Structure formats: C-alpha cells, structure tokens
Amino acid sequence: MKTGSKHSSKVSLGLKENWKQFTLLVIINGFVGGMVGLERTILPEIAEVDFGMAAKTAILSFIVVFGVVKALSNFYAGALADRIGRRKLLITGWLFALPVPFMLMYAGSWSWIIAANVLLGINQGLAWSSTVVMKIDLVGERNRGLAMGLNESAGYASVALVAFATGWVASEYGLRPYPFYIGIGLAGLGLLGSWLLIKDTIHHVRAESETSTVPRLKRLFAETSWKHPNLGSVTQAGLVNNLNDGLVWGLLPILLADLDFSLGLIGVITGIYPAVWGVGQLATGKMADHLSKKKMLFWGMLLQGVTLVLMGWAVSYLQFILLSFTLGLGTAIVYPTFLAAVADNTHPGQRAQSIGIFRLWRDLGYAIGALLTGVLADWFGIYTAVFAIGALTFASAWVIQLRMREKRYTQESKL
C-alpha cells in the first residue's frame, strides 16, 4: 500500500497533464483500427470471387470467428491489464497482428482466412482494450468522454481510411495481394511504437483510487452484464450496436454488389459509415462529459434502428450515401458514451475488468449479428435480415430509456 501511495504522489490525472502519452496512444489506436479496415470492403468479395462461396452464413463465418475471439480477448485483457500491466498487454496484442496481412494475401483456402481472423481478434481485443483503459487512466473523471471520443475516433477513422484505400487498390490492381501491403506497415508501426514510446499507467490508477467515491461491486461479472441498472443497460446496447455493425460489415457489400454497384462505389459507401463514426466521436465524446449519457445512448441507438430499416428500402447511390452517414452518426453518439458510462459506474480498481466484461458482450455482438443475419439472409433474403436487425436496434434504445438511471448508480445492485 505504501508503494502505491509513493508512486501515486508523483503522477497527475488530466488530459493536459498527460497529453504526450495520450497523443501517442491515439496514434497507436489508429493503427489498431486500420487492421480491421483491411477486411472491411473486400473480404466478402474475396469469398465470392476467389473461393466461390455463395451462402451468406459461410461468407460471414470470418466475422463470427473474429467477434468471438475478440470478445474473449477483451474479457481476459481486463484481468491481464492489472496482472502484467497495460503496456505489456498492448505489445502482446501487436505481436498477434504481424502474420495477419500475409495470411490474408496468400491464403489458398478459406480456412486460412478464418485463422487470420483468430489472430486479428486477439490483436483487437488486447491492443484496443489496452489503449482504452490507459487513456481513461490518464485523464481522470472529468474528461472521460472526450478521451474515449478521441480514442474511438482515431480507431474508426482509420477503419474508414483503410477501407477506402483497400477498395481503391483492389479496383485498380486486384483483390490480392496489393491491398494487404497496407496491413504490413500498420502492424510494424504499431508494434514499434508500443514497444519504444508507450509507458504504463498503473500508477495513475492508484492515484485515482485514493480519492474515488464509487463503491466496489461484489458481483462484477453479473453487475456489468445485466444486474446493475446502468451497466446492464449499457452492455445490452453495446451488444446490439456491434450486432448491427456485423450486418453492415458482412452483408452491405453483398447487397450493394447485387444492386450492381462497382467495387469502388462500394468502398465509398462502406467507408463513409466508419468515417462518420470515427470523426463524429471527436464531438460526441466531449458531449458525453456534459450531457445526459442516458439520452445520448437512447437517441443514438434509435437513430441507428431507423436508419437500418430505411436501408432496406434504398436503391440509389445517394440514398446509400445518406444512410451510411446517419448510421455512422448514430454510432458515433453511443460509442464513446458506452465506455464513459461504464467507467462512471465502476471503482478505478475494478475499471479494467468491468470494461473487459462490457467489451466481451459488446463484441460478441459481431458473432451473434453475423450468425443471425447470415441465417436470415440465406432463409428469407438480405432485406429481411436488414429489417430484423433494424427492429432489434430500435428495441435496444427503449431498454435504455426504460431501465437506465440518469444519475450514477452508486449503490450495490438490489436486483
């Protein structure tokens, strides 16, 4: 205990006080997001063109694997962050990323694509979780929303940028191998930057723990998953958010191809959604520090639900551009607010684990979404899948409205 007090007296919490490390972590998370962008536009096309896959459930199998592995990695990252340190966890995450672009560009069978997504899921779970927790550690309570907005903005803006880039490269030079050269650079820079420039933040956690008034939760997994009114509301919304993202990731390129859009135009439409999602969080993250988190989550999920339903009726390029924009806006409203709300409702000493549990359920949404939409698309058609996921997202918004409390819930759950 004395050791913690000694070190905590030497550190200060705040964005201004820790801007150098914070900025480096923003850049590193941009590289993390870029790794997902490698697949965003062209992997469904590779499945059909290179491997002759027609069934939507089979094509979306890579998202199922990615989602499950990333979710489990998130969960264990929460515990490992306290045990081995945030920095070591970040470096370990990048080591898993190094083989991914090579496996994607030279895969001779779909099983290699699946294997690459296992490694990518581990990379995303460990590396993204590390940057999230480290930024929250650095800034303290006052700027959590802004911190998460900057973190998620960097990550998803990079998803969009790389999705644009791979779509253009693929349209000019072919689906493989050239688009995946980008991934080699991202993985190399991410690993070197994490190893040479990033410092651990455990002492910032100890400093905040000395003054925190948030009680510890006795049943952390159950409380974060559902029993705690605020944490449970946030967690279910996170799962549904990534469930509908799994739909957009896996089926939207196929839907657009069926409507005879070119690969370049598909890249623009699929790239606008994460671009708005990413850039929008620069504003919505700061808003979450000042506005009602409950209202932001409700309206953000409601906007996503309405947009997805309307997407089922869209036919023109302009319509899809506008809907991709509004879907990105709805996601930008909720994404940094999720993490800020989880941090608000957990003790600093339990924060990493609680965020890991939230991210476990949130990213299981990828797998559930890919399975559900794949089955619905194969049995009833793509449009039925789009309408069903839109309705589910709409329902999630009302769970937040009816269950979540406006003010921080500082008592142990009585449910």
Asked whether residue 7 carries a pLDDT value surpassing 90, the answer given is: no
Cβ atoms of 296 and 284 closer than 8 Å: yes
Give the length of the chain: 415
Task: Please report, for residues 44, 113, 379, the alpha-carbon distance to residue 55 in angstroms, rounded to integers and kept in the order given.
Answer: 11, 16, 10
Spatial distance between the Cα atoms of 27 and 219, rounded to a whole number of angstroms: 35
Q: How far is CA 357 from CA 301, 394, 398, in A?
A: 21, 24, 22
What's the pLDDT at 308? 97
pLDDT at residue 286 tops 50: yes
409 has pLDDT over 70: no
pLDDT of residue 407: 60
5 or 267, which is more confident? 267
The residue ranking higher by pLDDT, 333 or 211, is 333
Sequence-separated contacts (24+) of 5-10 with Cβ below 8 Å: 5/206, 5/210, 7/203, 7/206, 7/207, 8/203, 8/204, 8/206, 8/207, 8/209, 8/210, 9/207, 10/203
Is 271 within 8 Å of 160 (Cβ atoms)? yes
**pLDDT for the residue numbered 62:** 87
Is the pLDDT at 415 greater than 70? The verdict is: no
**Mean pLDDT estimate for the chain:** 90
pLDDT band at 358 (very low <50, low <70, confident <90, very high): very high
Residue 5, Cβ neighbours under 10 Å: how many? Answer: 11
pLDDT at 235 over 50: yes
Q: What is the pTM of this model?
A: 0.82
Residue 143: the pLDDT is 84
pLDDT tens digits for range 43-53: 888 988 899 88
342 vs 64: CA distance, rounded Å: 25
Distance from C-alpha of 32 to C-alpha of 395, rounded to nearest angstrom: 31
Most confident of 76-90, 188-202, 395-409: 188-202
Report pLDDT digits (tens) over 133-172. 999 899 887 788 999 999 888 888 898 889 889 989 999 9
Q: What is the mean pLDDT of residues 257-265?
A: 89
| pLDDT tens figures, 287-324 | 999 999 999 999 999 999 999 999 999 999 999 999 99
With H, G, I as helix, E, B as strand and everything else as coil, classify residue 23.
Answer: helix
Residue among 302, 325, 318, 218 nearest 261 (CA): 318
CA 380/CA 198 separation, integer angstroms: 49
The answer to which of 216-230, 231-245, 253-267 has the lowest mean pLDDT is: 253-267
Burial of 404 (0-12, 13-18, 19+ CB in 10 A): buried
What is the pLDDT, as a whole number, of residue 360? 94
